[in-house]
Amino acid sequence: MDEIREINLSKTGEQKYAQPEIQSILDAIRQDDEHDPWVEMTHSFFNEEGIEEAITDFKTSESFRSLSEAERQEVERLGLLSLNPYNDLSWKIVKPNEALAEPSELEVLRLIPAIGADALLFSGVTLDDIDRVSPMYAEAYARLGFKRKLDFANFVGASILAKRRSYRDTFIDFDLSEVDGIKQTVGVGGDGNGDFRIRQSEFYLEGSIDPAGTNVMYAPKGPEKYFGAYHSVEPLILVALLKHIDRLGWSEDTQRQFIKSHLSLFEQKDDGRRGGGLYADYGESDGHYQINDVDMYYSAGLAQLAKEKGDFVWTELSNLYDRVNNLAFRTEGEDLVVQYGTRDKEFKWAPINDHCIKIPPELLGDFLLALLNQTKNGYGRTSDFCLINILNARLETYWHQ
């Protein structure tokens, strides 16, 4: 089994994707009963034999024969090569600089090794789908701004993958940074069981150079930092955030205004029911994490945290069995840091490595709104009204460290 890449379109690719004729082609393929199974893949794995079969079938088709000789040679040379685990193919992310014209002058910022499923993005197999729904679509490539029919087919395939509904679409994302066309985002969400997850993702806004050496309007999603904790830990995370802004030295008025302003931006669920993933228990069986008296929870929780040494709040259940490795939210300088660590019997905590997510103070509001919307959308095991009540309780009671 091989992982299907998460793909993002470049800024130019998004503009191309929005063209009405491109939309017509994509809609026709999605509605076609005979399209290849990978076209609307909603899970993350694909059988290598299926990829090989799709490419082999394509190479015997009329669609393949309609390509130029150079394009056919490219498919023959690279079509199945990425399935070899020892291939040396890679995607190149280069520094945006319109003044540079020669490939040798490009500054490479990232090299992303190709994997087997990437063959779906540079072998032209989508051309079969395009020809089947309407041969005239395939001949429209030049009018749509593509130099080659193969580039057009690969862009259509990349667009389908970029816009597919993934099982991982259970995150509320906000932008962390953008430098040289590389955008970092942080996502707050949960898995299928409603257990808390947070990730830092990397996207390439200027596209990439694909393994065939073609400058394309899409790129594989970059490396990801991924952390998890279990059960209804969102209240603890919210307490960690409140403790963090207090530790930064914000005045009482500033802290209260921070809470009020972001509460005003959040639209609570009308019915006030708990959220939760498909198998989530909504916090009902999460022991000391679920205290009905929210005021008591808030004051008791902060009192306990105040007694602990160090500058962190641990979620405890990131390892259910030995309870050694824990996900912690801690203060480092002005950043709120998310990191795995260990703690001893005296609750002293230490990181297990330097792998972490850092949220600067100017994005703490985005993090708060993401956490609130995570609960509202049912991606975790905590209700949004639980967090709202904690924030309202905080406005009534000021905690001094």
CB count, 10 Å around CB of 185?
17
Q: Give the model's pLDDT for residue 88.
A: 85
Q: Give the model's pLDDT for residue 36.
A: 57
Q: Report the amino acid identity of residue 152.
A: F
Q: Give the model's pLDDT for residue 338.
A: 95
pLDDT of residue 225 exceeding 90 = yes
Q: Give the model's pLDDT for residue 397.
A: 60
The pLDDT confidence band at residue 117, using thresholds 50, 70 and 90, is confident
Could you report the per-residue pLDDT of 360-377, keeping only the tens digit for each?
999 999 999 999 999 888
pLDDT of residue 251 exceeding 90 = yes
Q: Give the model's pLDDT for residue 287.
A: 41
pLDDT of residue 260 exceeding 60 = yes
Between these two residues, 153 and 164, which has the higher pLDDT value? 153
Q: Give the model's pLDDT for residue 357.
A: 98
The pLDDT confidence band at residue 293, using thresholds 50, 70 and 90, is very low
pLDDT of residue 352 exceeding 70 = yes
Q: What is the dihedral of CA 181, 182, 188, 190, to 10 degrees?
A: 120
- Beta-carbon contacts of 186 under 8 Å, excluding residues fewer than 6 positions away, are 173, 174, 176, 198, 199, 200, 201, 357, 359, 363, 366, 367, 370
Could you report the per-residue pLDDT of 274-291, keeping only the tens digit for each?
555 555 555 544 444 443
Once rounded to an integer, what is the mean pLDDT over residues 98-113? 75
- Beta-carbon contacts of 111 under 8 Å, excluding residues fewer than 6 positions away, are 90, 91, 92, 93
Phi, psi of 14 (to 5 degrees): -65, -40
Average pLDDT, the chain: 80
pLDDT of residue 4 exceeding 90 = no
Once rounded to an integer, what is the mean pLDDT over residues 244-254? 91
Residues 378 and 277 sit within 8 Å (Cβ to Cβ):
yes
Once rounded to an integer, what is the mean pLDDT over residues 77-86? 74
> Which residue has 């949220």 as its token pair?
359
Once rounded to an integer, what is the mean pLDDT over residues 294-308? 49
Express the helix, strand and coil content of the chain in percent, nearest 5 each: 40, 20, 40
Between these two residues, 261 and 54, which has the higher pLDDT value? 261
Residues 157 and 119 sit within 8 Å (Cβ to Cβ):
no
pLDDT of residue 292 exceeding 50 = no
Q: Which of 368, 380, 377, 390 is nearest to 230 (CA)?
A: 380
- Beta-carbon contacts of 297 under 8 Å, excluding residues fewer than 6 positions away, are 235, 291, 390
Q: Give the model's pLDDT for residue 229.
A: 87
Q: Which of 176, 175, 200, 177 is nearest to 189 (CA)?
A: 200
Once rounded to an integer, what is the mean pLDDT over residues 28-44? 61
Q: Give the model's pLDDT for residue 151.
A: 96
Once rounded to an integer, what is the mean pLDDT over residues 65-90? 85
Residue % of the chain over a pLDDT of 90: 39
